[in-house]
Amino acid sequence: MRILYFAPRECQPPNTGAKLRNYHLARELGRKAQVTYLGFRDEGSASVQEMPDCKRVVTVEHKGGYSFAKLVRGLLGRTPLPVLNYTAREMTEELRRLMAENDFDSVQVEGIHLSSYLPIIRAASRRAVVVCDWHNIESELMRRYSEQATLARKFYARATARKLEELERRAMSSFDAHTVVSERDRARLLEIAPQACVFLIENGVDTEHYSDDEIEKAYQAWPERSDAVRRNRLLFVGSMDYHANIDAATSFARSAWPTIHRRNPQLRFTIVGRNPSQEVRSLAEIPNIEVTGTVEDVRPFYREALAAIAPLRVGGGSRLKILESLAAGVPVISTLMGAEGLDVKDGENILLAETAEEFSRAITDLSENDSLPLRLKEAGRSLVREKYDWSAIGAELMNAHLSLVGRR
């Protein structure tokens, strides 16, 4: 079986939620099929030529970003800005070439951001099944962002959300099938198109990578390791150039952290993630907050963590970093929105909190009750091993492709 895995971004290194999903799903498909990975690479960066388990990797330089011309077209035209941002002549030419040279059985398109390329795929091959993978319901994500944005951005975001919603409705009938990360997202799409073929392919985690043995190996190789045994970090892990994470980190640091620090002066709030914005970097001026920026390996930080937090107020899909923390045996404290889409239960394998006081109380409980962290660790790891390991999720995706091609 030959599969084209078409993504907005190359997935190496897998250092964001989207990249992690693409990296592991493409690899799992590649273990049973011939997979060609196609995606944009950052402007000026070197092309990645190989990827484990994939037959071929092809990347096209992503030139420019949100230019003034694109912003105007995104506001006045029918096509929403996120789609315009990934529509490029160079990618059109590369996609046409790949479709002409390869007789693909199926094409997996990573999100409606690439929907403008669907006519090219259809024109090149009438036999290939085309699947849209929804990391989020993008109109919902944009609408939630508009609720937190400044006045000027609020107007643009709301207009973009409406256009994305129209595009999503068209996409439901344009693609042969769809995959989503949560049962909630599946239900939402079926409300739009009840007859659509929608598979649940959840987000996952490499459980072995976050085993105690692997974490300890990474920790012993870490030059900044401490001889202290006590876990004294409160971790927030995520891409720090993503608006939902910026909002979560800054709002938590300014509203909840002062109380937490006063009650637990030994704790350090560590924000780990690539490309922190200036707003996030400025948080390091607050006592006992550190902002690391990009790190080579996050596992040593988990080794020193009392808990990982996900205080998200906007977002969509499901949170790979929560799964990562659970796999690492670190208790997670999250808002309902942060844990949205995951099969977790408050007090059993996660702690849910909404207000600054609730976060503070949960952290105090973890620091003063030795049995609670142990219970959450065991239950969290049990959950991810049974339901969220990438090998099982990849097998489900492969079965979906096989069934669709078989019907064709």
Q: What is the CATH number of the domain that holds 336?
A: 3.40.50.2000
CA distance 212 to 218: 10
pLDDT in tens, the chain (408 residues): 999 999 999 999 888 889 999 999 999 999 999 999 999 998 878 877 789 999 999 999 988 677 767 777 777 788 898 888 999 999 999 999 999 999 999 999 999 999 999 999 999 877 899 999 999 999 998 998 888 778 878 888 899 999 999 999 999 999 999 999 999 999 999 999 999 999 999 999 999 999 999 999 999 999 888 776 678 999 999 989 888 899 999 999 999 999 999 999 999 999 999 899 999 999 999 999 999 999 999 999 999 999 999 999 876 545 899 999 999 999 999 999 999 889 999 999 999 999 999 999 999 999 998 899 999 999 999 999 999 999 999 999 999 999 999 987
Q: Which two tokens stand for residue 145?
A: 């962002």
251 and 357 both lie in a single domain: yes
Q: What angle do CA 141, 307, 313 make, to 5 degrees?
A: 20
The total of structural domains in the chain comes to: 2
Q: Containing H/E element for 245?
A: helix 243-255
CA distance 118 to 108: 11
266 and 349 both lie in a single domain: yes
Q: Which pTM value belongs to this model? A: 0.88
CA distance 180 to 111: 10
CA distance 235 to 311: 11
- pLDDT at position 64, please? 67
CA distance 406 to 384: 31
Domain containing 12: what range?
2-204+389-407
> What type of residue is 25?
L
- pLDDT at position 318, please? 52
57 and 161 both lie in a single domain: yes
141 and 270 both lie in a single domain: no
321 and 306 both lie in a single domain: yes
154 and 255 both lie in a single domain: no
55 and 121 both lie in a single domain: yes
Angle between helices 243-255 and 138-148 (to 10 degrees): 40
175 and 27 both lie in a single domain: yes
Phi, psi of 149, deg, nearest 5: -80, 165
Q: Which two tokens stand for residue 118?
A: 């669907």
170 and 317 both lie in a single domain: no
Contact predicate 378/150, CB 8 Å: no
39 and 180 both lie in a single domain: yes
Helices (H) and strands (E) in the chain, counts: 17, 13
136 and 188 both lie in a single domain: yes
Q: Which two tokens stand for residue 279?
A: 């707003």
378 and 394 both lie in a single domain: no
CA distance 394 to 406: 18
Annotate 88-147 with DSSP letters as a single string: -HHHHHHHHHHHHH---SEEEE-SGGGGGGHHHHHHH-SS-EEEEEESS-HHHHHHHHHH
